[in-house]
């Protein structure tokens, strides 16, 4: 079929050559047309056969077809010209022999390209529905990945993003290149959730900028590995990305209210304690984007503080960033940092949150979570910080573990400090704007360091099994960016003394979450990964709650934020118990510490700890 097609091409090329030579669309051939067609076909077809043109794989046209076509046309033209010269045939215009080879070459090459595209289009239509992605980087690595995806099940590249303006609006591998500013619109237009960074030679600063642009557009990102790793089986294409958090939650997030986000952040000095943790780091990123006058990053972990400090500085070189290495238990340090930096808003995320670890180290867990919170809150009160926001947890409601009980006492401590500050101001006759104390209570953030999701990913990569403590254990889950945005928005709604609750949706059974991750990670059904039940850990309970009494909450102006109306112990009881707690911690008296927790926290008992 290809040979017959080529003969037709030669016939057309000869006709075009005569038409050009005679400057008419209906030239008079005088019998030479068919003679030339016969000679050229008998010479050129065997040359093409010898060079292997008819053995080329048309589904993927390559440079080899271009080379063979050029060689075949050139060689055959020399033979035809020589034959006509030796035969001393008259009447064949020499200009035709010069024009025809160029037309034949163009038509032969074009026909292969056209056939290849049609074959690919027909064959690829049978592939399973592929997820659309954006490739960040229109260089050689990005082109290689885009070409690979043309025949790859699972992924399809729909656009290139590149930071180089000279590439914008160009077509690379038949895919258009866009600037980073187009990411959000492209994601919506093509229903894209993930992007692939294909810039292996980029610097760390450039890579962080790419990650920032992708996060800003709400896209999950992955890194393109070395192709040798893919070929050797060390990396599989489906391993380029993590399982998307929204796939796991199976619910839509709500767009943040930009006015609320900026209200307590923009043009204010903001301090984040625990800035290197999962929530603290995400708060740091999002607050940095809201143009605070200064961002104070406070953390006791040197590496965590270094990491988030470097990331924020590289992304926002014009922002004044102040990294502070220290403990929230250091009263003088906290006070000096707030004063010297004129801090207006404090987000207190510093806490020990790992339930089994705190259960095994209750004295230090309570000291850090309660006394540390009280220390920062008191420093805010005496320096007239405008907003203090405690990041709390759903485990503070009817807790069965020390961690949850300590976070509930931390909430009560904030309320106590707020009331004390107001009383002192009234007594002194001083009427500055009092600090607005609030707490924001929510469940598990799905990709945090202590979440089950990173553990499940690791276990899936190792082939399983996935470990679940109990088949019926349920938890509230939310993505880190969504939780951080809601914390910032809740702080802007505070009038002082509130405990805000984030709408986490319906609780998710952890067993179902594990099964969902297995299904998403093994779409090809080539791997069978099992789930293993290990039993509840010390202090762990089957169900978490956001409220002690579901009827004691009210709506706010934000559809995802509620306000708790719970009644706790009296302020006098809280004051007395906090004094007892401080003494018990100093004496390392565990029984007294637990007694205070039971006195202040509704629903808490020490049975789980005692049984351990």
Q: Tell which residue, 360, 448, 365, 359, has the closest CA to residue 400.
A: 359
**Burial of 175 (C-beta count, 10 Å sphere; 0-12/13-18/19+):** buried
> What does the pLDDT read at residue 475?
76
Q: Across-strand partners of 210?
A: none
- Residue 474 CA to residue 469 CA, distance in Å, equals 10
- Residue 500 CA to residue 396 CA, distance in Å, equals 13
And the tokens for 400? 């069965």
Q: DSSP letter string over 380-442?
A: HHHTT-SEEEEE--GGGSS-SSHHHHHHHHHHHHHHHHHHHHHHHHHHHT------EEEEEE-
Angle between helices 32-51 and 63-87 (to 10 degrees): 140
CATH class of residue range 131-241: alpha beta
Please determine, looking at this structure, whether the domain spanning 268-449+477-506+532-568 carries the CATH number 3.40.50.150.
Answer: no
- Residue 209 CA to residue 231 CA, distance in Å, equals 29
> What does the pLDDT read at residue 548?
46
Task: Annotate 75-108 with b (16+ C-beta within 10 A) or e (fewer).
Answer: bbbebbeeebeeeeeeebeeebbebbbebbbebb
> What does the pLDDT read at residue 377?
95
Spans in the chain with pLDDT lower than 50: 126-128, 238, 426-427, 431, 524-526, 548-550, 608-612
Q: Tell which residue, 552, 538, 542, has the closest CA to residue 611.
A: 538
> What does the pLDDT read at residue 579?
95
Work out the angle at residue 21's Cα, subtended by the Cα atoms of residues 16 and 22, and round it to the nearest 5 degrees.
100
Backbone φ and ψ for 223, nearest 5 degrees, come out as -105, 140
3-state secondary structure of 43: helix
The dihedral over CA atoms of 447, 448, 450, 452, expressed in degrees to the nearest 10, equals: -10
For the chain, the structural domain boundaries read 2-124, 131-241, 268-449+477-506+532-568
CA distances from 566 to 143, 195, 280, 283, 570 (A): 58, 44, 27, 27, 12
> What does the pLDDT read at residue 255?
63
> What does the pLDDT read at residue 524?
46
pTM reported for the whole predicted model: 0.64
Asked if the domains 131-241 and 268-449+477-506+532-568 are classified in one and the same CATH topology, the answer is yes
> What does the pLDDT read at residue 431?
46
pLDDT, tens digit, for every residue of 93-142?
A: 677 788 888 888 888 888 887 876 676 566 555 444 667 889 998 888 88
3-state secondary structure of 261: helix
- Strands in 498-502's sheet, in edge-to-edge order, are 321-325, 294-299, 269-273, 345-348, 387-391, 436-441, 498-502, 561-564, 553-555
Q: Tell which residue, 189, 182, 207, 194, has the closest CA to residue 135.
A: 194
């Amino acid at each position: 079929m290809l040979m017959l097609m080529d003969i037709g091409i030669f016939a057309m090329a000869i006709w075009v050559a005569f038409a050009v030579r005679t400057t008419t669309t209906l030239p008079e051939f005088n019998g030479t047309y068919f003679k030339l067609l016969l000679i050229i076909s008998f010479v050129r077809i065997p040359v093409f056969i010898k060079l292997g043109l008819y053995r080329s794989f048309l589904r993927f046209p390559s440079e080899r077809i271009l080379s063979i076509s050029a060689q075949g046309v050139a060689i055959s033209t020399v033979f035809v010209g020589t034959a006509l010269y030796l035969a001393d045939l008259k009447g064949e215009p020499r200009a035709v022999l010069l024009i025809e080879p160029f037309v034949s070459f163009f038509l032969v090459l074009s026909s292969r390209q056209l056939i290849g595209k049609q074959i690919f289009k027909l064959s690829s239509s049978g592939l399973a529905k592929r997820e659309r992605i954006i490739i960040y980087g229109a260089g050689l690595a990005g082109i290689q990945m885009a070409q690979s995806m043309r025949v790859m099940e699972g992924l399809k590249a729909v656009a290139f993003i590149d930071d180089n303006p000279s590439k914008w609006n160009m077509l690379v591998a038949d895919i258009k290149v866009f600037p980073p500013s187009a990411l959000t619109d492209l994601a919506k237009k093509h229903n894209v959730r993930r992007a692939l960074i294909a810039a292996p030679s980029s610097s760390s600063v450039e890579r962080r900028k790419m990650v920032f642009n992708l996060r800003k557009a709400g896209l999950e990102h992955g890194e393109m590995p070395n192709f040798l790793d893919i070929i050797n089986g060390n990396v599989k294409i489906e391993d380029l990305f993590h399982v998307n958090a929204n796939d796991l939650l199976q619910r839509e997030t709500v767009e943040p209210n930009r006015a609320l986000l900026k209200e307590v952040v923009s043009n204010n000095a903001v301090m984040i304690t625990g800035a290197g943790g999962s929530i603290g780091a995400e708060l740091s990123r999002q607050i940095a984007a809201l143009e605070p006058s200064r961002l104070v990053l406070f953390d006791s972990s040197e590496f965590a503080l270094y990491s988030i400090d470097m990331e924020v500085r590289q992304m926002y070189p014009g922002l004044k960033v102040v990294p502070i290495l220290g403990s929230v238990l250091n009263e003088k340090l906290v006070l000096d940092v707030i004063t010297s930096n004129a801090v207006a808003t404090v987000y207190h995320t510093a806490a020990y949150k790992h339930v089994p670890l705190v259960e095994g180290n209750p004295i230090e867990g309570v000291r850090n979570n309660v006394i540390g919170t009280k220390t920062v809150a008191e420093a805010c009160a005496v320096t007239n910080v405008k907003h203090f926001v405690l990041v709390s947890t759903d485990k503070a409601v009817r807790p069965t573990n020390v961690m949850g009980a300590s976070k509930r006492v931390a909430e009560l401590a904030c309320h106590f400090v707020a009331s004390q500050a107001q009383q002192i101001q009234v007594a002194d006759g001083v009427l500055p704007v009092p600090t607005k104390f609030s707490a924001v209570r929510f469940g598990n953030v799905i990709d945090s360091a202590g979440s089950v999701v990173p553990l499940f990913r690791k276990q899936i990569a190792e082939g399983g099994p996935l470990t679940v403590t109990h088949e019926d254990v349920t938890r509230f889950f939310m993505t880190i960016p969504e939780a951080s945005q809601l914390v910032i928005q809740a702080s802007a709604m505070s009038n002082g003394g509130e405990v805000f609750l984030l709408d986490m949706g319906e609780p998710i059974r952890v067993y179902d979450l594990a099964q969902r991750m297995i299904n998403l990670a093994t779409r090809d059904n080539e791997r069978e990964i099992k789930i293993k039940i290990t039993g509840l850990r010390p202090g762990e309970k089957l169900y978490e709650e956001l409220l002690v009494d579901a009827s004691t909450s009210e709506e706010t102006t934000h559809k995802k934020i509620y306000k708790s109306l719970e009644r706790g112990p009296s302020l006098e009881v809280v004051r007395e118990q906090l004094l007892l707690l401080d003494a018990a911690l100093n004496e390392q008296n565990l029984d007294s510490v637990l007694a205070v927790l039971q006195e202040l926290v509704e629903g808490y008992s020490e049975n789980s700890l005692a049984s351990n």
